[in-house]
Homo-oligomer: A and B are copies of this chain.
Amino acid sequence: MQKLAIGIDIGGTSVKYGVVHENGEVKLKESFPTKDFSDVDQFVNYLSERIKLSLAGLQSDHELIGVGIGAPNGNYYNGTIEHAPNLKWSGIVPLADLLTKKINIPVYLTNDANAAAIGEMTYGGAKNMKNFIMITLGTGLGSGFVANGQIILGHDGFAGEFGHTTVFHDGRECGCGKRGCLETYVSATGLKRTVVKLLSKARIDSVLRDYSYNSITSEQIYKAAMNGDQLAIDAFDFTGKILGMKLADAITIVSPEAIFLFGGLANAGKLIFEPTKKYMEEYNFPIYKNKVKLLSSLLPENEAAILGAAALVWNTEK
């Protein structure tokens, strides 16, 4: 009998879920828009029906061990999503409990970047690592920290919000209400803000001068940089500098074996890895210099969130 878990990734725009074999094989993968459900009970009803249908469609003999959910502001201890700015459900949503009642199976929930870290540890490049950092680069910057072989959840279950450390004390406005947060510099949005700042600051020509703030995308910036556009290259360099400097700070706390970068920006390869590595080493406290590996996540991007959420089930069962 196959042991299976369901991994669910709840994002601001879509919900992705999949049925995952213990060995990491994704047997089925689906998604639907998050915004269709302003009411959480309606969402849980729909989700549980979809899960039942998906399982019924599986041909092989199987046992469903549990459901893992990665969600913004997800709290592992309580199984709740709390005040998530990108979701329509306001306040504290006891999602794990609501779903358990519908499907009678243990449901585990944590924040999306912690789920990614657990996924990397279970199925990716951190299989034999006890101490590492996972950085997810999307619209924002998510993080998961693993020390002594365990994810750091903290006293209240909300550890791993490295995107909201302060880079510049009077810096860019952040969605969280603070200023100068790391994710306002290091993320797809941060990269764009840096480009637009450089457009105003520098005089160098750039293909990006013909686009409005709203129309510039990180893909365009990437293409421009690959075509030799110096302003776009400078924007990546600045992004890597800020990330490298702050990773050097994080290293002093957890002294990791490796730091994994995952997500859109990480796919820019050398453009982001080279400056990040350079400045990380420059700012590293001497005893850490040239010891910490900076690596690409080995999780396949289109399955990573599902694998990470599913890994939460195996990680908790052990």
Chain A residues close to B by CB (< 8 Å): 73, 82-83, 129-131, 143, 145, 147-148, 150, 152-166, 169, 176-178, 181, 245, 248-250, 252-257, 283, 285-288, 291-292
Chain B residues with CB under 8 Å of A181's CB are 285
Q: In the complex, A256→B147 CA distance in Å?
A: 14
Chain B residues with Cβ under 8 A from A143's Cβ? 253
Contact assessment for B254 and A159 in the assembled complex, using a CB-CB cutoff below 8 Å = yes
Identical copies of this chain, number: 2
- Take A147-B152, A147-B154 as given contacts and tell me if A287 and B161 are in contact as well, using a CB distance cutoff of 8 Å: yes
Question: How far apart are the CA atoms of A159 and B257 in the complex, in Å?
Answer: 11
Cβ contact within 8 Å between A155 and B131: yes
- A253 surroundings in chain B (CB, below 8 A): 143, 145, 152, 159-160, 162, 250, 253-254
Does the CB pair A164–B255 fall under 8 Å?
no
Asked whether, in the complex, the Cβ of B131 is within 8 Å of the Cβ of A161, the reply is no
Q: A155 touches which one: B164, B248, B257 (CB < 8 A)?
A: B257
> Which residues of chain B come closer than 8 Å to A257, judged between CB atoms?
155
| Chain B residues in 8 Å Cβ range of A169 | 245
CA distance A245 to B179 in the complex (A): 12
A152 cross-chain contacts in B, Cβ below 8 A: 147-148, 253-255
Task: Knowing A147-B147, A176-B286 are in contact, say whether A256-B154 is a contact too (CB < 8 A).
Answer: yes
For A161, give the chain B residue with the smallest CB separation. B252
Across-interface contacts of A286 in B (CB, < 8 A): 83, 176-177
Choose from B177, B178, B252, B287 the contact partner of A82 (Cβ within 8 Å). Answer: B287
With a cutoff of 8 Å between Cβ atoms, the chain B residues found around residue A82 in the complex are: 287
Instruction: Report the minimum CB–CB distance from A128 to chain B (whole Å).
Output: 11
Q: Which 6 pairs from chain A and chain B are nearest by CB?
A: A154-B255, A159-B255, A155-B257, A164-B285, A165-B249, A161-B252
Interface pair A255/B166, CB less than 8 Å apart: no
By a CB distance below 8 angstroms, the chain B residues around A288 are 156, 158, 161
In the complex, the answer to whether A166 meets B287 with C-beta atoms within 8 Å is: no
